Chains A and B, each alone.
Chain A
Amino acid sequence: MKMNSTTSSKLSTRKLVKTLKSSQKISELIKWYMLKAKINEYLPWKKSAWITSSLPVELLWGLNIFPLHPENNACISGARKVSLDLIEHAESLGYSRDVCSYMKTNVGAYDKKISIRIGGIAKPDFVVTAGSICDTHVKWFQIQARRMDVPIFVFDVPHIVSGTSKSTKIRYKEYLIEQIYDFFDFVEATTGKKLNEKYVLKIWENSARLSDLWQQIYEHRKNIPSPVGYADTLGDIFPLVLLPGLKKSIKYFEDLLKEVEEYVALGKGALLKEEEKFRLMFEGIPMWYRIKFFHQLMNYGAIVTYEPYTFSFGASRPHVDNLEDGVNAMAESMLQQPYFYNLSDRIAYFKDVIKKYHIDGVLLHENMSCRPSCTGMYDLKQKIQQDLGIPVLLFTCDMTDPRAYGKEQMQTRIESFMEILEQSKSKRLDY
């Protein structure tokens, strides 16, 4: 079947839609966070730190340190379509076209002192990072700590490669636990802030509750039609990224869950049941400057109903009632997250999701900025296609550098993928 001219322009017809009413309230949380960040900047006794997504942000909340998140701010710059200018600024300083565009967006945002509303970020009291997901997290913060002249703490997280033995995992966890306590000492020495055990337990409790709610929302995404698509979840993760220990976030997710449950009870979805033709899994960070891509997929009756990226931020956390167990759980979560699973775990994880979420096709974002997450994608693609007969589209792009997005090419690729999905689905239904 060849797409006709009406279908061929589908990737550019649908307007941006927020499917859930509760999702719209995310802007209130974001505004609250931005206001807090601003206040922090002017009160010398308040302390703040930059943190990367490779670390649980609860670490900072528990120590009464306000978290600033350069990756999150870079997403905002991307979504507000100012990232290119910032990236080019970093490139003018000598940072290669090939290095991660989040890092370059942050360098530009910081140097140009842009407003927090479009991704600006203040100087922190220190920075904390880890190499679990990528080298960039370490290099980026080394560079910015030096440029801003602030202390840096780096967590060394060993990698759970395919076949890592149980005893090795224990050794790695012990190593991380030692580093977590070392970090507490570092924070005290740097800012004078001490760990308040009672407070940190509260943060962990709230965080565990938030993750539970996220997991429940995810459970409902198994339904046909799916009540929530990526167009919603990419914004919904904000509380998981930055505000996991706060009551406000819990309230937000409770409302979200309630609405999702209502949708499911009524058989409603982000798309109408008869419209939902293809259920997709999307691997990778979205193209922030092109969020409408996810809305526009819906024109083809396609809904992204699972993303390891958003799932990772709310992966389940145990409920703990003492410091030791909490640190233990934190160390475990730093070692293993779906976003940086090794290849064999990643393949098994994808296969499981594909079955449980009734996935018809997989989109793999081969992100030019993110070499580590792209490594293994060819094997992943091959295994999914070969073992499950599920079509996979691997496309090359970038999350904040719009120069990597070829509009025409993307349209053509998506259209042919939809045709493949159509054929594949009808074949599978024949069985």
Chain B
Amino acid sequence: MKTFAYFDSTHEFPEEIIIASQMNPYKILGKADFSTELADQYIPPFICANARSFLNQAIEESSNWEGIAIAHGCDATNRQFDIWDQHVKTQFLYYIHNPLKTDGIAQRFFIREIKAMITALESHFNIKISLDQLENAIQVSNQIKILLQNLSKLRLTKDISNTEYFDVLKFTVQNPKEKVIPYLESISMDWLSRNPFPINKFPIFLTGSDITHSLWFDLLEKVNLRVVRDDLSIGERYYATLIPTDEDSISNIVNYYLNIPRSSTKHPITPRINYIMNACKTEKIAGVVSQIIKFCETFAYDAPFLKIQLEAIHMPVIHLEREFTENIDQQISTRLEAFVELLEQNQN
């Protein structure tokens, strides 16, 4: 199956269109080795390293992809599109604007935007994306989301490491969906048979900039913080909501993307904050780890308000700015250990 890659800063790209066009939607997440050297020639070091690593991977691997789309999320998407245009070799580079807002005007615009993308794909790849194919794609997408929802629930009751959870999500957003479904089904069997949630671990909610490498999940695991809920895009944001099926396919897709717990890059921020607050109020959450990758402004702006909100409900919260590196930052480890001590005191 052919691969079509996309860069969206959170969960903004309507991958169902690519599924419907019989290609594999591959979310660009950078290479495992954290490389950014090629991209560093074009993007200043004080711009988030996630986006730089995506460009780096694209410069190296674009020949494996039929085309690339960038969906608007944060400034990195639209501003760096032009740099991709200059330096990434591809036959098809497309930009789609996922609206900032969710009102009726935005909704109508997004429908037109998606239709325009379909036309561009049909014309470039000489294909026809039928309504049936779109409906099937929605079904497939929903099937995956339901499987992920069920798996996610197991995090609260079973011994599932942070990295295992991340790996499942990463696999899901990068592989052909017909491979993903049996894969998730087998994971489900495995996770159901796991031991109960370990007593020495603290169940936490993880929020902030997207995490693209398992290293950070490992770090949390090492200090006994177990991520049982999150609102990351390679996480719950991707599957928290199902795509509605009550209107025509394009409207359904639009309604879905405008009604998920959108990230800090969108307006208003209430859905994101409410999502976190609800989870903290309804689940057994011991604390919240709010983190941003250095220079991720949109999430950085929301961090103080989120902290105040959580403190108001007496939820322990730590905010961290992390570097993009293969090495564990000792200072961050120490801060996390201090946070764990606080949770221990709370427990007693």
The finding on whether chains A and B are genuine partners in a shared complex, rather than unrelated, reads yes
Residues of A within 8 A of B (CB): 93-96, 98-100, 103, 131, 134-136, 138-140, 142-143, 146, 152, 154, 156, 158-159, 161-164, 167-168, 171-172, 175, 178-179, 182, 342-344, 366, 368, 371-372, 374-379
> In the assembled complex, which residues on chain B have CB atoms less than 8 Å from the CB atom of A379?
42, 83, 86
Q: Which 5 A-B pairs have the closest CB atoms?
A: A343-B82, A94-B304, A159-B78, A139-B301, A375-B79
- 16 new A-B contacts, CB < 8 A, other than A99-B300, A159-B78, A343-B86, are A98-B294, A131-B100, A136-B301, A138-B100, A139-B302, A161-B82, A171-B109, A175-B105, A178-B105, A343-B83, A368-B46, A371-B75, A371-B79, A374-B44, A374-B47, A375-B44
**Are A156 and B95 closer than 8 Å at their CB atoms?**
no
> In the assembled complex, which residues on chain A have CB atoms less than 8 Å from the CB atom of B78?
159, 161
B49 interface residue, CB < 8 Å from A? no
**Are B264 and A371 closer than 8 Å at their CB atoms?**
no
B170 interface residue, CB < 8 Å from A? no
Instruction: Tell me the minimal C-beta distance from B272 to chain A in angstroms.
Output: 11
B41 interface residue, CB < 8 Å from A? yes
Roughly how many angstroms separate A171 CA and B117 CA in the complex, as a whole number? 13
Closest to B106 in A: A156
Known contacts A98-B297, A178-B105: does B75 contact A161 (CB below 8 Å)? no
Name the contact of A163 in the complex, choosing from B74, B76, B85, B108 (C-beta under 8 A). Answer: B85
16 contacts between A and B (CB under 8 A): A94-B307, A96-B292, A98-B295, A135-B298, A159-B81, A161-B85, A161-B95, A163-B93, A171-B113, A175-B105, A179-B105, A342-B81, A343-B85, A366-B44, A371-B79, A378-B44
> In the assembled complex, which residues on chain B have CB atoms less than 8 Å from the CB atom of A103?
301
Roughly how many angstroms separate A161 CA and B76 CA in the complex, as a whole number? 12
Known contacts A161-B85, A375-B83: does B300 contact A154 (CB below 8 Å)? no
Known contacts A99-B297, A142-B268: does B95 contact A164 (CB below 8 Å)? yes
Residues of B within 8 A of A (CB): 41-44, 46-47, 72, 74-76, 78-83, 85-86, 93, 95, 97, 99-101, 103, 105-106, 108-109, 112-113, 116, 264-265, 267-269, 292, 294-295, 297-298, 300-305, 307, 319, 321
Closest to B45 in A: A396
Closest to B303 in A: A94
**Are B269 and A96 closer than 8 Å at their CB atoms?**
no
> In the assembled complex, which residues on chain A have CB atoms less than 8 Å from the CB atom of B321?
96, 98
Roughly how many angstroms separate A154 CA and B46 CA in the complex, as a whole number? 27
Roughly how many angstroms separate A159 CA and B304 CA in the complex, as a whole number? 29
> In the assembled complex, which residues on chain B have CB atoms less than 8 Å from the CB atom of A142?
267-269, 301
Closest to A394 in B: B44
Roughly how many angstroms separate A146 CA and B268 CA in the complex, as a whole number? 11
Interface centre among B44, B82, B116 (most CB of A within 10 A): B82
Known contacts A98-B295, A142-B268, A156-B100: does B43 contact A378 (CB below 8 Å)? yes
> In the assembled complex, which residues on chain B have CB atoms less than 8 Å from the CB atom of A371?
44, 46-47, 75, 79, 295, 297
Roughly how many angstroms separate A103 CA and B301 CA in the complex, as a whole number? 10
**Are B100 and A344 closer than 8 Å at their CB atoms?**
no
**Are B97 and A159 closer than 8 Å at their CB atoms?**
yes
> In the assembled complex, which residues on chain B have CB atoms less than 8 Å from the CB atom of A93?
304
> In the assembled complex, which residues on chain B have CB atoms less than 8 Å from the CB atom of A375?
43-44, 47, 75-76, 79-80, 83
> In the assembled complex, which residues on chain B have CB atoms less than 8 Å from the CB atom of A175?
105, 109
Roughly how many angstroms separate A146 CA and B301 CA in the complex, as a whole number? 13
Known contacts A143-B305, A342-B82: does B297 contact A154 (CB below 8 Å)? no
**Are A167 and B116 closer than 8 Å at their CB atoms?**
yes
**Are B297 and A136 closer than 8 Å at their CB atoms?**
yes
Instruction: Tell me the minimal C-beta distance from A154 to chain B in angstroms.
Output: 5
Instruction: Tell me the minimal C-beta distance from A187 to chain B in angstroms.
Output: 16
Instruction: Tell me the minimal C-beta distance from A238 to chain B in angstroms.
Output: 27
Interface centre among A135, A368, A379 (most CB of B within 10 A): A135
Name the contact of B44 in the complex, choosing from A154, A342, A377 (C-beta under 8 A). Answer: A377
**Are A162 and B297 closer than 8 Å at their CB atoms?**
no
Name the contact of B101 in the complex, choosing from A94, A139, A156, A374 (C-beta under 8 A). Answer: A156
Instruction: Tell me the minimal C-beta distance from B276 to chain A in angstroms.
Output: 16
